[in-house]
Structure 1
């Protein structure tokens, strides 16, 4: 690989700039010279040969676009001269052969987890409080104010005294310009020592659903909430209901049973319209939650084999390097875990556009391939019906950093799934039940997809980013990986692992994948706190089954 350019796949007809290249410069790839006809920013691509209008553009070995204008050899590939295009797909032959990686160095490794009665193992131990409907969000906020800080689950923040400092400046007669120019040195607040040493926290999962939408929305919400209540990282739950909403408690109970029941976990249900006053509801909820915490504190971490890990794979704020460094690196981590008997979840269906045939063929049984094809087709058709097909998925940030078509973005995003066979295909909010690589239908929206992966059973999430995305989850460690070193150095407060070393030629994809798995084991054991947890990044957004890209 040249240290300036890269051709990702032998069948590609575009070349990636690994650093900024100026117009008129001559770069070599595979002993062939290319004179650049325009400036090419790092992460972007240029034409390997002349293209006529309508000619197909290939990257990662798949169709990713068509020339919208004539393009000269060495010319910058942009949204002005290339439009999205992707190959058709259908039910093909099963293609489940893969190169199983050597896992000998991990075969005897364990992680320290929380063992549950049903045999699942958590990477953390949380109590959750959740509403059946958005009307109860305020009561969750009251409970949070009453419980979190006093029980020692508050977070240190240097912004605690910022407002007081600004008030002092204003009171001293400073004008707006003077106030804005002052450097405020905030003091970190003190945090109460944790009362329950074996409980990682109380999480309050507020949302804006439960009523006013379709009955299908209510059912899907209950399925998602049941996934969190029965999750191995959850010791028990307090559920608040108003009483008259679409999402009724019996629906939640049914969804819990679909996922194997509570398995000795406590759950407390309180209905405001039945109890009467807010004070009765909140005081009872606080007392019962406190009682639940006493029970949750009795469980301790114990060794667990790596096949108890359920790894969610996610990307957000992707750039032109994501599909070259971070995504294939966690794809190799995925293959390692599958070879060890673990479970992996690949989601974000709008970001699998153009690679459907490969993933469909990798399904071990034809029934799953048909389900995947149906979900992809139906989802895309619904999006087109409202004027936003999968081709409109790339964000302005994606485009600015080289992901100019959805097919380019998707071909790189799919690298997160490695090369192992697909053992199951799930529709949101189904629970993962099979070991190996699972495909889960979710939007490409970072938080909606991460929320869904955890609801399906992921007990740790790998999240790649090229631009910097702070996404986390209330109950599961979300490990953030940068695709480039510049980002890791610019935003060290949110990045856990840098894979820019691959772009720089300092590390192979396989070496990075093994390094990532080692980090995963430590994070799963609680010995390595990830940045999203340190920052209290508790993102939780249920997916309404409308169009969300």
Structure 2
């Protein structure tokens, strides 16, 4: 990337014919670029793009060195690129030659570093130690909630911070006869975080109770995929054991779940409680059995302790949500550099959100280690897009209103920046939802671009930490895997400190290089994996979990 000395605009790739404004630029601002000088024809907001030459309708527009759109109306030199003068366009892709040569980053400072993790029988290492309580079908959601009410507080696993004391204050003011105006003006103090010292089981990080709306009534394909997804969570290195409640007659049968578990871990040995309400008879009988067997399982899970593990045991999920025009310039390439570092050390990274890889298919397929892997990637991309088109919304419709407002006005622009999270290393494997990572290196996982569905799937694939970049802000978390929120700009970091963990706006401001930000993030990840601190999402109890109903989401 090249920027002018005052850091007011930037050219991301030498072949790009648009520049990105790094701050609000008024009309008339003089631009000195590539030996020429011209004035901006109109105001250009920070994160948005403007042309370096005059463009006629049909002219290609390039960013990140790839085609991201075509002019739909004349654009003068120094004119802003907007939804009114550009349409989505992306290059075709085909089977090409292997381009797997890459420059490995310097990892000497991290080669001997370790994290304190939970070692599992299958050789994986967890960054946490959770017990799961999950339904096979939505009919059991209520019983899951009953178990949560019975177990969480008694065992010391209540939410990190509730708002009960705030409600108590409101009740007190109402009973004291305070007016509506006085109540609205009141400054309520947040409750302090709960003390974890009162936990009965000291080596268990929590009991996670998951609800969902699937398992029956949909397609068999979706219910089978749900069983695979849940199996991914049960066999996950961050999970010590699980309780599964089933009604009995649903599509998502316990036998399918067991088969999916064995597919992922043939020597599965974790404590697992599976109960069916239609076999137990009364709800009371099932819940009594579930509570007793879960408690016994917790006793076994509490025997696990953290011991040192090499960084090669980390599996990092790469995610972005609420993206903006700085995502592909700051936080995403910093994640890409970190990804390359982890791959160099033998670890695994997972790049998902296939709708947000539209336009970079050729590069990624060429980076696949062999033609079979490349072929699978291209087939999954083509099939997924065709399904979306059949439903009346192809990949071109991926950018959200928030994305567009902050500079990501075509899917290809959004995708080219999103793909930067995957760094430059070869693609070692391509996975379809809800498959599991089995190879070190860069793995591509077919998921929607929808934040929570994608994060849910990355964790099922084995991610024991998720790094999540955002330019607009999102509280997304996960029940069993820490989700680190990384801001693309300093303004967001300062505005939403309760949900953002790391700021990469320092790159935009010229205070830090991409490599320096990556080193800083990897330090944070190692400490997080050793539970020296918790993410903001964990502190808020943000346990988001949404299975993918295939074909419905972009």
Does TM, scored on the shorter chain, surpass 0.5? Answer: yes
Distance in 1, matches of 2:323 and 2:497, equals: 17
Query: Is 2:137 aligned against 1:133?
Result: yes
Distance in 1, matches of 2:316 and 2:194, equals: 34
Secondary structure of 1:210's counterpart equals coil
| Contact 2:15–2:65, Cα closer than 8 Å, also in 1 | yes
Identify the residue that residue 276 of structure 2 maps to in structure 1: 271
RMSD: 1.3
Secondary structure of 1:88's counterpart equals coil
| Contact 2:88–2:396, Cα closer than 8 Å, also in 1 | yes
Query: Is 2:474 aligned against 1:482?
Result: no
Q: CA deviation at 1:429?
A: 0.4
Distance in 1, matches of 2:540 and 2:266, equals: 32
| Contact 1:160–1:186, Cα closer than 8 Å, also in 2 | no
Query: Is 2:475 aligned against 1:470?
Result: yes
Q: Which of 181, 193, 196 is matched with 2:185 structurally?
A: 181
Instruction: Report 1:443-458 matches (<5 A).
Output: 443-458=448-463
Distance in 1, matches of 2:97 and 2:143, equals: 54
- Once the two structures are superposed, residues 338-377 of structure 1 have per-residue CA deviations (whole angstroms, 9 ceiling, x without a partner) of 0001111100000000000000110001011111111101
Secondary structure of 1:166's counterpart equals helix
- Structure 1 unaligned regions, length at least 5: none
- Greater shift, 482-491 or 189-198, is seen at 189-198
Distance in 2, matches of 1:276 and 1:176, equals: 50
| Contact 1:151–1:194, Cα closer than 8 Å, also in 2 | yes
| Contact 1:230–1:261, Cα closer than 8 Å, also in 2 | no
Distance 1:133 1:513, change over 3 A: same
Q: Which of 514, 528, 533 is matched with 1:528 structurally?
A: 533
Q: CA deviation at 1:511?
A: 1.2
Instruction: Report 1:51-450 matches (<5 A).
Output: 51-157=55-161, 159-188=163-192, 191=195, 193-261=198-266, 263-450=268-455
Distance in 2, matches of 1:216 and 1:32, equals: 58
Q: CA deviation at 1:250?
A: 0.4
Distance 1:261 1:128, change over 3 A: farther
- Once the two structures are superposed, residues 45-75 of structure 1 have per-residue CA deviations (whole angstroms, 9 ceiling, x without a partner) of 1011100011010000000001011000111
| Contact 2:327–2:488, Cα closer than 8 Å, also in 1 | yes
Q: Which of 475, 493, 497 is matched with 2:498 structurally?
A: 493
Secondary structure of 1:138's counterpart equals helix
| Contact 1:360–1:373, Cα closer than 8 Å, also in 2 | yes
- Once the two structures are superposed, residues 482-525 of structure 1 have per-residue CA deviations (whole angstroms, 9 ceiling, x without a partner) of 00111111111111111111111111111111111111111111
Distance in 2, matches of 1:361 and 1:278, equals: 55
- Once the two structures are superposed, residues 164-221 of structure 1 have per-residue CA deviations (whole angstroms, 9 ceiling, x without a partner) of 2222333334443443233223444755611111100000111100000011111000
| Contact 1:352–1:413, Cα closer than 8 Å, also in 2 | yes
Q: CA deviation at 1:103?
A: 1.3
| Contact 1:356–1:373, Cα closer than 8 Å, also in 2 | yes
| Contact 1:66–1:83, Cα closer than 8 Å, also in 2 | yes
Identify the residue that residue 507 of structure 1 maps to in structure 2: 512
Identify the residue that residue 38 of structure 1 maps to in structure 2: 42
Write out the 4+ residue segments of structure 1 that deviate beyond 4 Å after TM superposition: 189-192
| Contact 2:352–2:458, Cα closer than 8 Å, also in 1 | yes
- Greater shift, 23-32 or 440-449, is seen at 23-32
Distance in 2, matches of 1:453 and 1:471, equals: 13
Identify the residue that residue 544 of structure 1 maps to in structure 2: 549
Secondary structure of 2:215's counterpart equals coil
Distance in 2, matches of 1:204 and 1:508, equals: 41
Distance 1:469 1:507, change over 3 A: same
Distance in 1, matches of 2:215 and 2:349, equals: 29
Secondary structure of 1:235's counterpart equals strand
Secondary structure of 1:146's counterpart equals helix
Q: Which of 14, 17, 29 is matched with 1:10 structurally?
A: 14
Distance in 2, matches of 1:526 and 1:455, equals: 21
- Greater shift, 346-355 or 19-28, is seen at 19-28
Distance in 1, matches of 2:106 and 2:394, equals: 40
Secondary structure of 2:336's counterpart equals helix
Distance 1:241 1:213, change over 3 A: same
Distance in 2, matches of 1:471 and 1:490, equals: 17
Distance 1:158 1:240, change over 3 A: closer
Q: CA deviation at 1:31?
A: 4.9
Distance in 2, matches of 1:68 and 1:524, equals: 49
Distance in 1, matches of 2:188 and 2:330, equals: 38
Distance in 1, matches of 2:227 and 2:160, equals: 34
| Contact 2:64–2:416, Cα closer than 8 Å, also in 1 | yes
Q: Which of 44, 47, 58 is matched with 2:51 structurally?
A: 47
Task: Return the TM-score normalized by structure 1.
Answer: 0.98
